[in-house]
Amino acid sequence: MTLLAAVNLNAAGQIAAAAVLGAAGAYFLLPRPKGRSVAAGLFLSVAAAAVAAAFVVNTFGNPTADAVGQVLFWLFAAGAVGFGVVLVAQRNPARGAIAFAFVILSTCGLFLLLAAPFLMAATVIVYAGAIIVTFLFVLMLSHARGPSDENDRSREPLLGSLAGFAFAGLVLFALYLSSPAAEGSAANPLPALPLTVDDRRSLAAAADALAQAAAAEDRTGLEPNAQAARRWLGEVVGYAPGEAPPPGADAPTRPTLQQRLRPAETDARTWQVIEQADKLRDRKKEVFDKLDNNLLGQRPDLDAARAELRALREDVVLFAGRGELPARNVSAVGFALYSEHLVGVEMAGALLLVATVGAVAIAQRRREAAP
């Protein structure tokens, strides 16, 4: 990182340096009869990885907010890329298959970081089978004792490495252009997340206050908490027409969610969030109207008030989850699969069947025709 700062390359220069170093490293590492140098290739590859990692940290910041997540991310990322290089550069295909197994395990760790535990398990199972079958094929088909054409030669090592790393470098540059770190990031083509950190904090506080209010024994415990929840909610979703702000509410310090999102209402997701925020605002008005007029009036009905508050709290928690993956991953993925993508599931099943038939038909040993 200090070296990069000393050379003072801009982003394109850093990406180009990493790509050229990586291509040179792959060129030296690829197996061929003459000119292969594992030491030089390893050195250049490590240098390329260091430059790329420094670029990523400098440009995009830390991958996660917590230290554990950062350690895990860098561990899995280094494992995936490192074992990938081993797979490409390894002469022995059996050892290459082992390196591929480690690539799969590392990417599965990244899947976990991306909140996809079901896909992690499915990938481990599917690719464990695939790797075992590949192993069988290696044992069955490659029995070359010494050096062989397929393992000890490469096709155009220089041009191939340049092509692959030029592609990776271009993708990195496109990422840089689309990231908030690029100059003129006002034209950021990626939409911002609808709920900001402040919104989430207010919603969590409102949910806490509502839970306390719903668990309160009497009116003295219930009412202040309910009013506090109302103020927190009012900060995020505002007040419905005809709804008076509760006593003690300050003048609004920031625009409500709907005011902030309406001008940028570009995609279906933002529109959904606005609609849900409006719904939550009206629901809040309805609940507190009931509380003020009937339930806490002359003849208070505390049980009904608690039930209303509990229901409102569930709505708040659901709304706070907008823009986050649901916690129950397997049920969420299954629901999406069998409700929105049913045709795709059927087609995938048909594809598997056709592939099975095709594999059997291709691999079948044909009888020699009688002369």
Partner 1 sequence: MISLWHFLAVGAALFGIGLVGFLTRRNLITMFLCAEMMVQGVILNLLAFGKYHGHVGGQVFALFIVTVAACEAALALALFLTLYRRGKSLDSGDWQAVREAGVPPVVDAEPLPPPEPEPAYPHLPPAGAKPAREEPARA
How far is the C-alpha of 313 from the C-alpha of 254, rounded, in Å?
23
Rounded Cα distance between 129 and 123, Å, is 10
Q: Would you state the structure tokens that stand for residue 275, as one six-digit string?
A: 């609609």
Closer Cβ to partner 1, 70 or 294, answer by number: 70
Q: According to CB under 8 A, which residues from 262 to 321 bind partner 1?
A: 269
In angstroms, what is the minimal distance from the CB of 348 to partner 1? 4
How far is the first Cα of the chain from the last one, in angstroms, to the nearest whole number?
Answer: 73
CA quadruple 89, 94, 95, 100: dihedral, nearest 10: 80
Compare residues 38 and 307 and give the one whose CB is closer to partner 1.
38
Distance CA 169, CA 20 (A): 9
Name which position in 154, 202, 212, 227 contacts partner 1 (CB under 8 A): 154
Residues of span 320-359 touching partner 1 by CB under 8 A: 322-326, 329, 332-333, 336-337, 340-341, 344, 348, 351-352, 354-356, 358-359
Residues in contact with partner 1, counted by CB under 8 A, come to a total of 106
Select the span of 4-12, 135-143, 231-239, 276-284 touching partner 1 (CB under 8 A): 135-143
Separation CA 344–CA 87 (nearest Å): 33
CB of 317 to partner 1, least distance (A): 15
Contact 213, 340 (CB under 8 A): no
Of 6 and 197, CB closest to partner 1: 197
Where does this chain touch partner 1 (CB under 8 A) — which range of 136-144, 217-225, 257-265, 279-287?
136-144
DSSP, res 341: S
Scan residues 66-125 and list those touching partner 1 (CB under 8 A). Answer: 69, 73, 77, 80-81, 84-85, 87-88, 90, 93, 96-97, 100, 103-104, 107, 110-111, 113-116, 118-119, 122-123
DSSP letter string, 101-129: HHHHHHHHHHHHHTT-HHHHHHHHHHHHH
Q: Which is nearer to partner 1, 94 or 215 (CB)?
A: 94
